[in-house]
Amino acid sequence: MSSERRRSANRVNARTSTGPRTAAGKARSARNAQRHGLSLPALGDPAWSAEITALGRKIAGEDASAEQWQLACRVAAAHIDVMRVRQARHQMVGQALKDPNYHQPTNAELRENWLRREYGWPADEAPREPSESHTIDTPGKYAQILDDLSIRLGLMGRYERRARSRLKFAIRAFDVACVDAIHKKTG
C-alpha cells in the first residue's frame, strides 16, 4: 500500500510528463516506430502476402487441410519476420562499415544538433563539423561501429526474439495439427 506522499508525488510527476506539445514534436513522435517497420509482423503487411503464401504452400505440402495450410502460413510469416530483422541488422552494420567517413556524434554534438532543429539555437553560429577524434579510419573500425550501434543492435535483438517466439509457437501449432491429421487418417 502506497503512502499519501508517494501518491502525491506520482500525481505531480504525471502532470509534468505530458509528452510532446508542439505540432512538430507530435509529428516526430508519431513517426518513432516507423524507422524500419519491424514492429509490424509480416502477416499483417499485405506486401508480404505473396511470399507468405508461397512459403506456406511449401511448408504445408500438397495434401494439407485448410487448417494445416493456415498454420503453415503463420509459420512462414514468422520465419519471414526473423529474416527481416536479420536483414535490417545486416544493413545497419553494413552501411556503417561502407561509410569511409563514419562518425558517431558525441553527446554534446547530438544535443547541439537537437537544439538547432528545435529552437534554431544558436542561430548566429554555423553548424560544427564532426570532431576529428571520433572519425574512424583504423583497424578497430568494426569494433567501434558495434560499440556505437550497441543500443540499436539490442533493439534489433528484441525484435528478433519476438519473431523467433512467434515462429516457435507457430511451428508447435502446425506440428500438433499434423499429428492430429495423421491420427484421424489412421483411426
Residue bearing the bigger pLDDT, 22 or 30: 22
Give the pLDDT score at 59. 94
d(CA 84, CA 38): 7
Sign of CA dihedral 43, 45, 46, 52: negative
Give the pLDDT score at 2. 75
d(CA 91, CA 94): 5
Give the pLDDT score at 135. 46
Contact 39/33 with Cβ under 8 angstroms? yes
Q: Which amino acid is at 12?
A: V
Which grid cell sits at 77?
510469416
Give the pLDDT score at 131. 46
d(CA 187, CA 183): 6
pTM, two decimal places? 0.61
Which grid cell sits at 47?
506486401
Residue bearing the bigger pLDDT, 26 or 34: 26
pLDDT in tens, 144-170: 777 778 888 888 888 899 999 999 999
Contact 52/81 with Cβ under 8 angstroms? no
